Structure 1
Amino acid sequence: MDYIRSFAIVMFCFLLGQGIQHLTHLPIPGSIIGLFLLFFGLVTGICKTKWVDKTCNLLIKHMALLFVPVGVGLMNYLGLIEHNATIIFASTLGSTLIVLLVIGLALHHKEKES
């Protein structure tokens, strides 16, 4: 019964996100909107963690398998990726460095307070 409730809550958030995206035509995928809705529900206490932990643990356990369709789908765009490889590499490297810098500064600031 826990799996059914857990799956139903996750799917409800997903479908609600899809519906919001479809009605508002936001440039954000409906699955991401649903993820934010689930996050909001967990943070506010509307949705208890124990209600969704079964499905979430199952999805995390098999996460690598969920990336296979995305990886195969990228093969359709190898020419586009090859044409923009420099830009992709530069943005990946740049964003990684920015994240490392921000985390380092935040940690430094946090340790200075303590």
Structure 2
Amino acid sequence: MDILKQLLLIFFLCICGEVISALLPFAFPSSVISLLLLFLLLMPGIIKTHHIDKVSDFLLNTMAFFFIPAGAAIIEKYELIKGVLLPLFIITLFTTIFTFAVTGYTVSFFIKRMNKKEEKHNG
């Protein structure tokens, strides 16, 4: 039952993201809004990590499964994209490197920030 509650919490945040996205006067992905909502609720401790740990572990462990439809669609539409494979590859390469760099710096920033909080709390 615990997993169901965690999944409902995640779905609730996704629905909130959809509503906010629909209300905005410009296009913005609801999934990004949902992630921002989750982040904003995790930071002050409104939602604790143990409230979503089991379902988030499950989703992370099965993430590759969710890319199968996208991969199949790319294979199915190969004739349409074969003329732009090189630019697509270059864009994918650079955005992947950029994403890794931003993620690394963000994680490093928050680890340092958490360590400073622990030092203040302990010292």
Query: Given the two structures, how large is their TM-score scaled by the length of structure 2?
Result: 0.69
Query: How large is the RMSD of aligned CA atoms in angstroms?
Result: 2.7
Change (3 A) 1:98 1:24: closer
Name the amino acid aligned to 1:55: V
Structure 1: which 5+ residue stretches go unaligned? 108-114
Determine if the alignment matches structure 1 residue 11 to structure 2 residue 4.
no
State the 1:13 CA deviation.
Answer: 0.7
- Ranked by relative contact order (alpha carbons within 8 Å, sequence separation 6 or more), the top structure is 1
Distance in 2 of aligned mates of 1:82 and 1:19: 37
Partner in structure 1 of residue 47 of structure 2 = 47
Worse overlay, 3-12 or 93-102: 93-102
Distance in 1 of aligned mates of 2:6 and 2:30: 19
State the 1:25 CA deviation.
Answer: 5.0
1:45 aligned counterpart, secondary structure: coil
Structure 2: which 5+ residue stretches go unaligned? 109-123
Partner in structure 2 of residue 89 of structure 1 = 89
Distance in 2 of aligned mates of 1:4 and 1:38: 17
Partner in structure 1 of residue 79 of structure 2 = 79
Worse overlay, 10-19 or 92-101: 92-101
State the 1:26 CA deviation.
Answer: 3.8
Partner in structure 2 of residue 65 of structure 1 = 65
Name the amino acid aligned to 1:75: I
Distance in 1 of aligned mates of 2:18 and 2:72: 24
Distance in 2 of aligned mates of 1:54 and 1:45: 17
Name the amino acid aligned to 2:36: F
